[in-house]
Amino acid sequence: MNRILLYSLLSISCYVCNAQNSNTYPYTIETPTHYNSDGIDKHPLLIFLHGAGERGEDLNMLGVHGPLKLMKQGKKFDAIVLAPLCPSDVWWETDLLQNTLEEVLRKYRVDKSQIFLTGLSMGGYGTWLWAGKHPNQFKRIAPICGGGNTADAEKLVHIPTWAFHGGKDDVVLPEESQKMVDAIKAAGGNPKLTIYPNADHDSWTETYDNNDFWEWLLSKDN
């Protein structure tokens, strides 16, 4: 990434959150209205990784973009929604992400066969890298304006993947998504890539505002 965008602040309502320890990220979590911690039903898990502009200690920043922003506007997800918070001046670390996920799996009634991952910009990178490190735990992934390690392509072949990028993005070049998609296709996979011709770095707003995207990402079909 050749520069860092500054995002405007947007306050969100108070969510359930956990304080950071040395092995996990602090995070915000939302459960669906029918969630019962004492019940037997398990629920899908939607994980959102924010971008560089939301790093720090303020959990309210997790509502600037993505599913928590949409939930504040009234959208409902038939899933538990998890949004970790990355500290300032560092990037997502897959080991800490995995530790955070494992803590959530211990505390909440999650269907482990229905874990969905998306992220934007720095979170797009995190999505590619985390899926490459733990390719058997995600049902679907949707990295937005990020990039990854093409050496992971063979491990990602079986994961339904839909990547997004702005054609005029000069922060993370669209070639970063293209390289990953091409590498997975060459390895035998069938990922999708949507490039918005007139979009710059913000290719997430149009993506997350699209109901068809959420229907795809949260689909329980194989």
Helix (H, G, I), strand (E, B) or coil at 219: coil
Pairing of strands 80-84, 27-30: antiparallel
Q: Can you say whether the dihedral through the CA atoms of 208, 202, 14, 138 is positive or negative?
A: positive
The confidence score (pLDDT) of residue 10 equals 23
Q: Which amino acid makes up residue 97?
A: L
What are the start-end ranges of the E strands in 43-191? 43-49, 80-84, 110-120, 140-144, 162-166
pLDDT in tens, the chain (222 residues): 333 322 222 222 223 334 445 799 999 999 998 898 888 899 999 999 999 999 999 999 999 999 999 999 999 999 999 999 999 999 999 999 999 999 999 999 999 999 999 999 999 999 999 999 999 999 999 999 999 999 999 999 999 999 999 999 999 999 999 999 999 999 999 999 999 999 999 999 999 999 999 999 999 876
With beta carbons less than 8 A apart as the criterion, state whether 158 and 189 touch: yes
The confidence score (pLDDT) of residue 221 equals 79
The confidence score (pLDDT) of residue 81 equals 98
pTM of the model: 0.89
- 100 phi, psi to nearest 5 deg: -65, -45
16-217 carries CATH number 3.40.50.880: no
